Structures are given as structure tokens and as C-alpha cells.
Amino acid sequence: MSAPKSKAPVVPRPSASLIVVNERNEVLLVQRNLQATAFAGVTVFPGGNYDKSQDESFQMTAIRETFEESGLLIASPKGPGGRMPPDSVLDEARHTIHSQKLPFRTFLNEHGLKADTESLMPFTEWITPVGPPRRFHARFYVFFLPSASSAGFTSGNKQERLPKPDGGQEVIRARFLRPESAIAEFNAQKITFMPPQYYILHTLSSILVGDKNTMEQREKVRQLAYGKFGRMIINPRRMQGSEDSAGPGVLTYEGDETRGGSKGRLHRVLVVTAKGGITQKIELHRNFDIFTEIEEKAFQSQSKL
């Protein structure tokens, strides 16, 4: 009798997320609904699944989802003298688009707007490991306000304009936080992150120093985005044996000495997970310069969409 065939791994769904940085060096974060089907209660960058019926690019996905989840519209008038819609129109459109009663592209065309996709910079890709019932190939992009015209929510804690957490709404909170403040809240177990969000915020925290965004800081981020860092496709893998230990689990990334990197090279995180899969602690171990020492040969996509 032949052995039963193992189930094929779930194919990662293409998705996109946007890392919005305002002039105060704060990053836009949203908290998922506790009843959400994916990442319930987790604090993430706004984003969601690619929709081929209305997204001509992953950058458009990131912009559309950011508008739906936070009210921030990253778009510009097409012609001279054009204006952005008032908040009342944005609020109504946001709900209508989220409920799929109005295509995002139609909304933009009706108001003479063009999504500022060219202003989005690539900032790593992440593929969910094999095992979970839902897997994603997430493209992360970084965007600086106000490097292009935008409308809506651009600072502070914007709960009053968010839809109430009912009717299947995905987000219950949106706010701008400094990267180091967000990490401090995570370490105090006030909010929950997944490893990609922690990794990106940790990376930005060493660059976006101070409460005023500078040209030098933006240039450093651009160097990462359009260099080897921005092209990294990360496939986390649990280190063999760590899943059975009583201590933290270890997730390794491409470029680690166990994943194609040079001997002694570390590119991994220690993760402590509580009951229910809630991430309590993440500790990044990365002992190379991300500007000059990324070993690109170790990075290659292991998933075809």
C-alpha cells in the first residue's frame, strides 16, 4: 500500500504594504481587528492582497490598501489647477471602495487624480514559510510625506475617522509612531508585531533619528531601497531543533551562515511566542553592514507567484 501523498504547500498570495514616513520621522502603523482572518490584533504597516481587477501594479495595491485602512490618499491632481477632494469625499469613498462598491481606479479618474506610484521605493520582500494555512508574498515599499501630494490622515492618532470594528472591517486603529517608540511599545507588550514589521522598524530606527526628517536621512533610505537591501527576498526558516526547545525559536534569513552566508555571518531573529501564537519578543541578530556587506548571492526567490 502506497504512503498517502502529502498536501502541496499553500501558494503565497501576492500582497503589498506601505511604510509611510512623515516629516516628524514617524511611521504609519495600523492595528488589525481582533476578529480578522489574518494577523488578528497585530500591529502592521497598512497593506493587503493584490487585486488584479483594480491594481495594475503592487505599488497601486499598497496605495489603495493604505487609503482603505487609514484614510491617507497618496495621489496628485493630474492637471494644473487640480485639487484634492475634501475630507468628506475621501471618507465616503474610502468606505465605498473597501466594500467593493466602487473600484479605486474609478474613484481616482472621477476626481482627476493619479496615484503617486512612482514615489514608492522597494524595501524588501517577505514570503511566509510553508506550514500556515495562509501564506503571502509581501512587497514592502517606503514613502516619504510630503514628497508627493497627499490627502487625509498624515500625523497623530487618527481613531475618530476610522470605521468602527464591525461589519468585517479590517482595522481598528491607525497612528503615526517613531520607529523606536513602536519597538518600545512592543517590548512592553503593549502591541504585537510579526518579524517583518519588527525587522523593518529596527532598520529604520537607526536612520530616522530625531523629530525632523532630513534630506540626508531620506537619501540613506533611498540608498537601501535601490541597492541590495531593497531587492532582498526573505524566506524565513525555523532553525532545525529550535522548534523543540523550551527557549526562543530561531528564524533564519538568507545571508545567515546557515542560509548561504559566509561563516560567522548572522541574519536571524530569536522569537518568543505565547499561547495563541502571539509574538511576545523578537530579537534581531544581524552582524553585517546593510549598505555595503549584503551577500546578494544568498538571496533568491523560492516561490513563483
Residue with the larger pLDDT of the pair 222 and 296: 222
Evaluate if residue 225 carries a pLDDT over 90: yes
- Whether the per-residue pLDDT at 161 is higher than 70: the answer is no
Higher model confidence: residue 218 or residue 129? Answer: 218
- What is the model's pLDDT at position 200? 99
pLDDT of residue 167: 38
Residue ranges and CATH numbers for the domains of the chain are 13-233 (3.90.79.10), 236-290 (no CATH)
Residue 281, pLDDT score: 94
Residue 123 sits at the vertex; the CA angle it makes with 143 and 205, to the nearest 5 degrees, is 75
Q: What's residue 3's pLDDT?
A: 56
> What mean pLDDT comes out for the span 247-259?
92
- The average pLDDT across 157-178 equals 58
Mean pLDDT to the nearest integer, 229-234: 97
Q: What pLDDT sits at residue 41?
A: 82
What pLDDT shows up at residue 166? 33
What is the tens place of the pLDDT at every residue in 10-20?
Answer: 899 999 999 99
CA-nearest of 5, 3, 45 to 21 is 45
- Cα separation, 41 vs 33, whole angstroms: 5
- pLDDT surpasses 70 at 248: yes
Q: How confident is the model at residue 146 (pLDDT cuts 50, 70, 90)?
A: confident
Report how far apart, in Å, the C-alpha atoms of 296 and of each of 146, 185, 234 are.
Answer: 32, 33, 12
State residue 187's pLDDT score: 96
d(CA 206, CA 185): 17
Looking at residues 245-264, what average pLDDT do you find? Answer: 89
pLDDT top residue among 124 and 300: 124
Please say if the pLDDT value at position 203 is more than 50: yes
Q: With 60 as the cut, is the pLDDT of residue 156 above it?
A: no
Average pLDDT over residues 263-274: 95
Residue 302's pLDDT band (cuts 50, 70, 90): very low
pLDDT band at 94; cut points 50, 70, 90: confident
Q: Average pLDDT for residues 263-287, to the nearest whole number?
A: 92
Strand locations in 178-222 (E): none
Taking the C-alpha atoms of residue 30 and residue 18, their distance in angstroms, rounded to an integer, is 11
Handedness of CA 45, 46, 49, 50 (dihedral sign): negative
